Amino acid sequence: MKRALAIMVGAALILLLATLTLVVMPYLQMSAEQVPPDLKPYTEQQQRGRQVYIANGCVYCHSQQPRDPSFAPGDKDRGWGRPSVPGDYAYDEPHLLGTMRTGPDLFNIGARQPSIDWQLMHLYNPRAIIKGSIMPSYPFLFRHVDEPAEGDKVVNIPPPYGPETGTIVATEDALALAEYMLALDHTYPAPTLPKKPPNSDEPKENRAP
Amino acid sequence: MTPTIAILLIITFVLSTVGLLLLIWSIANNQFSHGQAAARTIFSPGEEGHSEDPARAADEPFTGDTSEQTAAIEARWTADQSSRTAVLTWLSSSVFWLLLGSFFGLASSIKMHLPEFLTASEFLTFGRIRPVHLNAVTYGWASMAGIGVALFLIPRLFKTPLVGGKYAVIGGFIWNIGLVLGLSAITLGLSDGEEWLEFPWQIDILFVVGGALCAVPLLLTAANRKVEHLYVTSWYLMAALVWFPFLFLIANLPFAFPGASGATVNWWFAHNVLGLWVTPIGIGIAYYMIPKILGKPIISYQLSLIGFWSLALFYSQVGIHHLIGGPIPTWLVTLSIVHSVMMSIPVITVAINHHGTMIGNFSRLKDSPTLRFVWIGALMYTVASLQGSMEALRSINVITHFTHYTVAHAHLGMYAFLSFILFGAVYFIMPRLTNWEWPWRKLISLHFWLVSIGILIYVVSLTVAGWKQGVALLDAAMPFMNIVKMTLPALQARTVGGALMTLGHLVFAFHFIAMLMRSGAATEQPTLFRPATKENAQ
């Protein structure tokens, strides 16, 4: 029994060490990180949109973390934005950094596509806007009505993607998600990003995305 | 970051001191003296040189040449029967979750190239069925089958009947309730939002309790053990059952880690689920099955212990290689990269033992389905681990990160390594528990070939496409939609591979149920101590 206990205690201690280095220390360091002054907290509606984003698993195809251009030039060159810093995520709970780019990075989608109509139409059927897109349609975020009521947000879907009769209107969830998309705009400067050393210019000439 | 470096230095110092003390302690306590004697503890007296392979048709099972040896084998039979209810609870559940998880995986795969497939309902949208697939196969299939096999091995390793098996049965029920609630929550859109941690934290408590209940019979049986040496498999199993509840609890602490530090905790956990939970179970099972089927001890016992401790040390710190280039401190990423590369040490020690023991016995792969599954699983462990170390390097990671390459790698590990070993173990265990042989051995072959060809198509297509995708993503001159189109054939091939794997699982599940119901004719082999009346039927 002594030896069995020794193995278990040893195993637990090693995991404790890993917890210290990989959980506690990063937490201490990053929670002290400065929050960029231009970063705005989410509104209630944007926060609701963020929950819709989580519930429907957008994170499985979209990242929210452009990498440093000196490391991975494609991220900046595609117009996905400057490298993100810990402070950018101060209001993100849980984080939605993502690990997959089946679709593009969304860290600055609000700056790239600032029109709510674009966002809603794209959510209803991505192929109505981008030919060959493999993103799923989200028809359940919309209502199909004969006549839009007062205050309904009408989404004009180009044929043949819309219904043959009637109108498509956005639900509260769709509007919230679209507002969250628009809030994903981190084009402000990040004060904690290291200043460029004098001898290194932009790593690559800026190609238009 | 001077304080960080100072803390790192202090930790390194403390670590080396602790390591030194451990070394002194183990020398003082004769930890290194057993050598090959310990490697032989898995055999009954006189059994060495005889293969134990309950899923195989041809050979005569060893029942002892002397009365003492027969008594030992009978004691082992009693030990096997003692774990029956507990093991069958966990294994049967795992087979159910495997089927469910396979269908959700297949549907997710189809959706990747047919985006209009099943989009009407929010409950079947890609972003919900994909996490249902992951959680069903990880916590349902792999974890439950792993615990089931562990419960079977515990009495064998300690040479005494399982004590406290009912705790494991209760644990199994709680675990299943957790899965039903957790998967329903994801389907309803109540996910916690972090990969591998989607189940709402309230439900996660059930898994901690269920897992901890399985540690009870382990501890009670260990206290009762009749062997002096703890065989290396029990090291891995004991450690895994310590690690999992601890990991799962910390990673799910609600609201403790916001923002970017949440990402570090997320990936620290997600990789530890692989490294400190399913990997030790998988390696531990292979460490038992390979020598047992061959009837020959592993070639280097000392090496297996070095492999164990280095796995514990290095694997626990690799998780942050999932965030290379991400918004987290550079030292943290570097730490994980260093440990990822150091992982080649335990991987090579395990490879020497697993494959070295096989040398000269490869012909056994032809007739032993168990060995075929387990050894190919062990081989894929070596391959997937070395590939993983490479993927952690910045120069490789910049290409493979965010692509299908990683998905292929994950399936190489969780499927070609772990699931293959679990399949093999189930084929070994069931005849011993039910005292019945597999009714249709051809189905075992069919299962093997379906899943082997399936995973081969899966891994090859996504590896190639993922690499090309990663290279293309770095060059903004290539429009994004062109990259999507480029990967489409591979995504379709993945559906073909996945369909073959699902088909294989249907065969496996059918055979498993037939075994539970004792279908088929009682044939000649290889059940030990079957009542003599049935011995001559057919």
d(CA A29, CA B3): 10
The residue count for chain B: 538
In this prediction, residue A209 carries a pLDDT of 42
Lowest-pLDDT range of A11-20, A194-203, B82-91: A194-203
Q: What fold characterizes domain B36-535?
A: Cytochrome C Oxidase; Chain A (1.20.210)
**CATH number at A33-183:** 1.10.760.10
CA distances in angstroms from B244 to B95, B269, B270, B404, B425, listed in the order given: 21, 10, 11, 28, 21
Percent of chain B with pLDDT over 70: 92
d(CA B195, CA B19): 34
Interchain contact, A22 vs B223, CB within 8 Å: no
Long-range contacts of B389-394, Cβ-Cβ distance < 8 Å, separation of 24 or more: B389/B340, B389/B341, B389/B343, B389/B344, B389/B347, B391/B321, B392/B318, B392/B321, B392/B324, B392/B336, B392/B337, B392/B340, B392/B341, B393/B337, B393/B341, B394/A71, B394/B324, B394/B325, B394/B337
d(CA A117, CA A104): 19
Nearest CA in chain A to B319: A22
Q: With 60 as the cut, is the pLDDT of residue A60 above it?
A: yes
Which residues touch A125 (CB under 8 Å, ≥6 apart)?
A137, A139, A157, A161
The runs of H, that is alpha helices, within B159-231 are: 165-187, 201-223
CA distances in angstroms from B34 to B29, B30, B228, listed in the order given: 11, 8, 10
Which residues touch A32 (CB under 8 Å, ≥6 apart)?
none
Phi, psi of B156 (to 5 degrees): -70, -45
What rounded mean pLDDT belongs to chain B?
89
Quick: pLDDT tens for B126-183: 999 999 999 999 999 999 999 999 999 999 999 999 999 999 999 999 999 999 999 9
Q: Which amino acid is at B209?
A: V
Higher pLDDT pick, B529 / A115: A115
Which residues touch B464 (CB under 8 Å, ≥6 apart)?
B490
In this prediction, residue B529 carries a pLDDT of 42
Phi, psi of B425 (to 5 degrees): -65, -40
Helix or strand run (H / E) with residue A170: strand A167-170
Chain A residues whose beta carbon lies within 8 Å of the beta carbon of residue B199: none
Of A72, A78, A138, the CB nearest to B398: A72
What is chain B's alpha carbon radius of gyration, rounded to the nearest angstrom?
23
Which residue has tokens 């996504």?
A: B462
Neighbours of B458 (CB within 10 A): 27
d(CA B314, CA A23): 15
What rounded mean pLDDT belongs to chain A?
88
Taking residues B109-119, report their average pLDDT.
94
Quick: pLDDT tens for B342-379: 899 899 999 999 999 999 889 888 888 889 999 999 99
In this prediction, residue B437 carries a pLDDT of 84
- Give the tokens for residue B100: 């469910």
Residue B464 distance to chain A (closest CA, Å): 15
Taking residues B430-436, report their average pLDDT.
88
Q: Which amino acid is at B508?
A: F
Interchain contact, B127 vs A56, CB within 8 Å: yes
CB contact B111 to A (< 8 Å): yes
Residues B427/B55, Cβ–Cβ less than 8 Å: yes
Using CA atoms of B171, B176, B177, B180 in order, give the dihedral in degrees to the nearest 10.
160
d(CA B251, CA B247): 6
Taking residues A126-146, report their average pLDDT.
95
Determine the straight-line distance between the first and last CA of chain B, rounded to whole angstroms. 76
pLDDT band for position B33 (50/70/90)?
low
Strands A142-145 and A154-155: unpaired
Q: What is the DSSP string of A78-136?
A: TT--SPP-GGGGTT-SS----SB-SS---TTHHHH---HHHHHHHHH-GGGTSTT--PP
Which residue has tokens 């994903």?
A: A184
pLDDT band for position A200 (50/70/90)?
very low
Residues B17/B131, Cβ–Cβ less than 8 Å: no
Residues B319/B271, Cβ–Cβ less than 8 Å: yes
d(CA A173, CA A182): 14
Chain A residues whose beta carbon lies within 8 Å of the beta carbon of residue B325: 65, 67-68, 71-72
Q: What is the DSSP string of B428-469?
A: HHHHHHHT---S-HHHHHHHHHHHHHHHHHHHHHHHHHHHHH
CB contact A64 to B (< 8 Å): no
Quick: pLDDT tens for B443-469: 999 999 999 999 999 999 999 999 999
CA distances in angstroms from A121 to A76, A170, A172, B481, listed in the order given: 26, 9, 15, 18
Chain B residues whose beta carbon lies within 8 Å of the beta carbon of residue A78: 476, 480
Residues A141/A133, Cβ–Cβ less than 8 Å: no
CB contact A46 to B (< 8 Å): no
Which residue has tokens 């190609």?
A: A207
CA B503 to chain centre: 21
CA angle, B5 as apex, B4 and B7 as ends, to 5°?
65
Q: What are the sequence ranges of the domains in chain B?
A: 36-535
Q: Which amino acid is at A4?
A: A
Taking residues B324-347, report their average pLDDT.
90
Interchain contact, B262 vs A137, CB within 8 Å: no
Residues A82/A126, Cβ–Cβ less than 8 Å: no
Quick: pLDDT tens for B466-487: 999 999 999 999 999 999 999 9
Residue A197 distance to chain B (closest CA, Å): 17
pLDDT band for position A30 (50/70/90)?
confident
